[in-house]
Structure 1
Amino acid sequence: MSGYEIYGALGSPYSLKVRAALRAKRLTHTWTGMTMQDRERVMPNVKAQVIPVIRTPDGNWTNDSTPFLLGLEREGRALVPSDPKLRFVCLLIEDMADEWFMKAMFHYRWAYAEDAEWCANWLMFDSLPNAGRASVENAAANIRERQISRMALVGCTPETAPIIEASWKRTCRSLEEMATGPVRFLFGDRISLADIALYGQLKVMSVDPTPMAWLRADVPYLYRWLDLADDASGLEGDWLEPDAAMASGPVKALLAQAGDTYLPFLKANAGALLAGNETFEVMLEGQPYAQGVFKYQVKCLETLRAGWNALDADDRQVIRALIGEGAGILD
């Protein structure tokens, strides 16, 4: 085998994230939209039953997108700026996209009846090729019921819907400024891992009825930007100078959102787990938010703190000023 094999789904933001990253890095790879039959062969190779699943050229299997992609930084084009400040900021935004921004994707997909029907049918159409419409729609009814039953587990409830939607739109408006700004991506004319993580979530939402309509009406250039990020293999460009990148409006806005939303969310989750609680509540952007605890997100906070503490004092000072009070969570 001479390249990477990606087994994913067009409805999976993390699958599209990995595919876009390998395209941007110009690494040889294949893409397989995984069917039910493929699952029987592929999923036993990984412990966590989530996609995408990647087989590496040496025959190993993995399915955690961030560690996998960071492990490829020396292959092909780098997706993370080498400057320590920008590297930390890139990884913070990428983590926020994966762990917080994704809640909007899950919420919109299953909270609205039109979206739930559309998405379930679409997912099953991809998974059951040649099965026929009746079989696809019967399977879709089952997956729709299952996913709706899981909404509260990940914090997507009628009570949290206002904060999830408002926070998502806040991020999208920051990214619209980027899409219409002097450079194509967050850190210059070169795509980063942060851009790609945001792209993965937004790309699947760009075909789901409710978020698609809002994106096209309110942030039309971000909507178009998604096609740019989908395949950046032919785009040449450089990172901005660190000071210019840190002064960028979209980067400053996303760091402020990390400070008042994502980092408090991670802190509340970690505190609840430490106390032995099964759920937690926290005020985010002036609104109440509650969900069940997640061990994986404790690991996210620990990783961010390690990266923060590895920075020198001057770099921390620059970033702290942009994150605000929430930066204290990283100390």
Structure 2
Amino acid sequence: MSETYHVYGALGSPYSMKVRAAMRAKRLIHTWTGMTVVDRMAVMPNAKVPVIPVIKRPDGTWTNDSTPFLIGLEGEGRDLLPPDPLAHFACLLLEDMADEWFMKAMFHYRWAYEEDAEWCANWLMFDSLPNAGQEQVEEAAADIRARQISRMALVGCTPQTGPLIEASWKRCCRHLEAMSLSGQRFLFGDRISLADLAFYGQLKVMSYDPTPMAWLRSETPYLYRWLDHADDASGIEGDWVDELSVPAKVLLGEAGKTYLPFLQANLDALEAGEKTFSLTIEDGTYEQGTFGYQAKCLKNLREAWAELSLESQKQLADWIGPNASILA
């Protein structure tokens, strides 16, 4: 049996970038295919849901959910989760926040601004149709641009929520900038973690999109450069630290203020049979459609929280804030 993992994704996909960087960091043998339309026809039937990246394991099985895939690889190659239970949970929570909340800024910036929407759609379609020529690429780009813009309200990206999303994203970026200048290379030490990789995936694609790229280069230039460090950490040696870094603690507070209330409101709406939900976050109203996957995220976090000692729960709650009760 081959020991090679085959990763099929796209350069404009944050989760594809996350998985590719993780495979590099873990030093596992893998191939990378930026999928064209032809590749998709062969690969996507192997996925249960049509999202990327799609990964073929050495045993011939397929998956396309980045978080359980990477967690399932712990013990193979270099680990991405710190072994200390408290840091382990903190890493899981921050990774989840990056995947499910921080990503809203990626979607917002990409499709809310006219320049970004046109540039990004053309870029995405050129990668999918590299042999098609300009006219066909731009026709396909117009279609995907219209489709993605039509989905914005469903995922919570509207003119009303835009300022809230941007403010939350910028705060997190400033905390990550502080990490990059702290004398510690990553959130949990001098080795990259699953949480670092999740933030990296979102930011990597945003570092090419015109509006967030300009802000990152101007306001968080060292975080912007850090992205290249995270892109291939295969040769970066280092270890976990015993004490949680200040940026990690502050980001846990951001999760308490935004992400955990978001997860709870989504779950409450699902249980009530509602199709949408809204909540107040930092004096702003946030609204979107309900998603079963995000209810699963909260379930997984609660299960991981229940495994912690009371002492670890208390310490984490001090950093997360009052909304740590959502995890109980």
TM-score greater than 0.5 by the shorter chain: yes
Q: Distance in 2 between matches of 1:114 and 1:210?
A: 8
Instruction: Show the 5 A alignment for 1:63-212.
Output: 63-212=64-213
Residue 232, structure 1, aligned to residue 229, structure 2? no
Specify the SS of the correspondent of 2:50.
coil
Instruction: Show the 5 A alignment for 1:286-325.
Output: 286-325=283-322
Letter matched to residue 312 of structure 1: S
Residue 249, structure 1, aligned to residue 246, structure 2? yes
Specify the SS of the correspondent of 1:152.
coil
Residue 27, structure 1, aligned to residue 24, structure 2? no
Residue 51, structure 1, aligned to residue 48, structure 2? no
Q: Distance in 2 between matches of 1:2 and 1:329?
A: 41
Aligned match of 1:216 = 217
In the alignment, structure 1 segments of 5+ residues that lack a partner are none
Specify the SS of the correspondent of 2:6.
strand
Q: Distance in 1 between matches of 2:58 and 2:164?
A: 42
Q: Identity over aligned residues, as a percent? A: 69
Q: Distance in 1 between matches of 2:132 and 2:248?
A: 46
Letter matched to residue 330 of structure 1: L
Deviations 1:147-202 (A, max 9, x none): 00010110000010010000000100000000111100001100000000000000
In the comparison of the two structures, how many residue pairs are matched? 327
Letter matched to residue 179 of structure 2: M
Aligned match of 2:274 = 277
Letter matched to residue 26 of structure 2: K
Offset at 1:287?
Answer: 1.2
Specify the SS of the correspondent of 2:52.
coil
Q: Distance in 2 between matches of 1:263 and 1:56?
A: 33
Runs of 4+ in 1 over 6 A off after TM superposition: none
Q: Distance in 2 between matches of 1:213 and 1:58?
A: 43
Instruction: Show the 5 A alignment for 1:13-24.
Output: 13-24=14-25
Instruction: Supply the RMSD in Å over aligned alpha carbons.
Output: 0.6
TM-score calculated relative to the size of structure 2? 0.99
TM-score calculated relative to the size of structure 1? 0.98
Aligned match of 2:41 = 40
In the alignment, structure 2 segments of 5+ residues that lack a partner are none
Q: Distance in 2 between matches of 1:101 and 1:285?
A: 16
Specify the SS of the correspondent of 1:154.
coil
Letter matched to residue 53 of structure 1: V
Specify the SS of the correspondent of 2:321.
helix
Equivalent of 1:260, from 253, 257, 261? 257
Letter matched to residue 102 of structure 1: M
Deviations 1:270-303 (A, max 9, x none): 0011111111110112211011111100000000
